[in-house]
């Protein structure tokens, strides 16, 4: 496919996404239907679509609207290309520019939020949460997220993993956020079929998520419950650094469907529990980890569609749910044990304020550690608070 043909394909896909379809499903369906497109074409079109979604607000201003065509016109202008070299360039390209499109004078951004491609209604929250760093944080999320790997330190050290990955054309470098973290510099598309991935030496996991897992207090022989386990990335990261008893629960067990396979590959054991099993057996644990449902604002580089889908009402519902989970999970912590609360959010109301309000309701807990990671550190936004029970 020519570059112009890729732009034309992306226009149709963005129209469907703007109508409410999920970006990953739209791209997967397009790939199945258009078998003539090679893997490089499919990857390039996916990159275009996600780049546009990350910068939807500013590109709409450059292109004169939020249709797929207007957004791609803004995308071409932002890249420094002459739109006339793309629109109408060949038989598979988008049609030629109309007179209005050709003469459109892009308007100046009305606000910092627009220039940083951040939802206007949420901008005051970001400023309250990060002060003078709000603009750099928002702008960092306009770029594609890096690819990070977690080395399973129970199997190999980081230097050995670097060498094994390099043998398969996957070039990485160590990251300072965690002793297990690597950033992929070259060969990211080879990871899932590589030996180090298939044998459990490495897992895909953002460095800030690894750093949060490093904060979880757990010593040999103790018990840990990952209360909102999802796919189980956190519990596997913790299990890779200490020998303990590991348990996982999720309100939707389907999210944990691959956890057993991943745990076996990693060489660890994780027992999955339902809430009924936890309550009936009156389980209590040395450490309970809550990787809470959240806005996902810290990972919007990976899910830019979520940035524009979040609403004030939905955020309020999420904050209420986090409070309910905290109040339930704290009862599962042994005396002198730990409750670890984490989100992939950048917002104070989901993070520091949520913990502060929890401590006001539960005075037998106290904070022993608290950290916030942002995309400025070349990782996802992530928050983690470690609380101790008296």
Residue 236 near residue 262 (C-beta atoms within 8 A): yes
What are the helix and strand counts (H, E) for the chain? 18, 11
Give the per-residue pLDDT at 356.
98
Cα–Cα separations (whole angstroms), residue 373 to 241, 267, 381 = 21, 29, 5
Q: Which two tokens stand for residue 192?
A: 């899932």
Q: Is the pTM of this model over 0.85?
A: yes
pLDDT band at 48; cut points 50, 70, 90: very high
Q: Which two tokens stand for residue 48?
A: 């275009």
User: Which part of the chain has CATH 3.40.50.150?
Assistant: 212-389
191-202 tens-digit pLDDT: 999 999 999 999
Residue 268 near residue 245 (C-beta atoms within 8 A): no
Q: Could you please report the per-residue DSSP string of 242-306?
A: ---EEEE--SSGGGGTTHHHHHHHHT--EEE--HHHHHHTT--EEEEEEE-----GGGTTT-HHH
Checking if the pLDDT of 318 tops 70, the result is: yes
Mean predicted confidence (pLDDT) in 342-356: 97
91-118 tens-digit pLDDT: 999 999 999 999 998 876 678 898 899 9
How many CB atoms are located within 10 Å of the residue 197 CB?
19
CATH 3.40.50.150 fits 212-389, yes or no: yes
Q: What percent of the chain has pLDDT over 70?
A: 99
Mean predicted confidence (pLDDT) in 50-76: 95
283-304 tens-digit pLDDT: 899 999 999 999 999 999 999 9
Mean pLDDT computed over every residue of the chain? 94
215-249 tens-digit pLDDT: 999 999 999 999 999 999 999 999 998 899 999 99
pLDDT band at 324; cut points 50, 70, 90: very high
Q: Where are the alpha helices (DSSP H) in 112-206?
A: 112-115, 123-130, 134-140, 158-167, 195-198
The number of angstroms, rounded, from the C-alpha of 269 to the middle of its chain's C-alpha atoms is 26
Give the per-residue pLDDT at 108.
66
112-139 tens-digit pLDDT: 898 899 999 999 999 999 999 999 999 9
- Rounded to 5 degrees, φ, ψ at 191 are -60, -50
């Amino acid at each position: 496919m020519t570059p112009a043909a890729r732009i034309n394909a992306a226009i149709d896909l963005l129209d469907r996404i703007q109508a409410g379809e999920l970006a990953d499903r739209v791209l997967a369906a397009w790939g199945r239907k258009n078998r003539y497109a090679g893997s490089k074409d499919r990857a390039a079109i996916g990159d275009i679509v996600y780049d546009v979604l990350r910068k939807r607000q500013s590109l709409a201003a450059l292109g004169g609207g939020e249709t797929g065509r207007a957004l791609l016109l803004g995308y071409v202008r932002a890249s420094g290309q002459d739109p006339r070299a793309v629109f109408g360039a060949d038989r598979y390209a988008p049609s030629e520019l109309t007179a209005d499109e050709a003469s459109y004078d892009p308007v100046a951004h009305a606000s910092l939020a627009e220039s940083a491609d951040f939802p206007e209604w949420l901008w005051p929250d970001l400023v309250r949460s990060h002060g003078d760093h709000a603009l750099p944080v928002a702008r960092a999320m306009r770029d594609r997220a890096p690819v990070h790997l977690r080395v399973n330190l129970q199997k190999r050290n980081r230097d050995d993993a670097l060498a094994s990955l390099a043998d398969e054309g996957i070039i990485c470098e160590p990251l300072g956020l965690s002793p297990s973290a690597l950033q992929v510099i070259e060969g990211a598309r080879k990871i899932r079929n590589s030996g180090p991935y298939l044998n459990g030496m490495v897992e895909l996991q953002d460095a800030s998520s690894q750093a949060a897992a490093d904060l979880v207090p757990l010593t040999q022989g103790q018990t840990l419950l990952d209360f909102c386990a999802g796919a189980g990335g956190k519990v596997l990261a913790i299990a890779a650094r200490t020998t303990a008893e590991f348990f996982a629960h999720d309100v939707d067990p389907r999210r944990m469907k691959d956890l057993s396979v991943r745990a076996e590959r990693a060489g660890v054991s994780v027992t999955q529990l339902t809430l009924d099993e936890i309550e009936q057996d009156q389980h209590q644990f040395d450490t309970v980890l809550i990787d809470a449902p959240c806005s996902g604002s810290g990972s919007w580089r990976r899910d830019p569609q979520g940035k524009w889908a979040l609403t004030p009402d939905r955020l309020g519902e999420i904050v209420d749910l986090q409070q309910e989970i905290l109040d339930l999970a704290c009862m599962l912590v042994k005396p002198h044990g730990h409750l670890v609360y984490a989100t992939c959010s950048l917002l104070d109301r989901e993070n520091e304020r949520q913990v502060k309000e929890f401590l006001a309701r539960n005075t037998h807990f106290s904070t022993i550690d608290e950290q916030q990671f942002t995309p400025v550190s070349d990782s996802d936004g992530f928050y983690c608070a470690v609380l101790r029970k008296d």
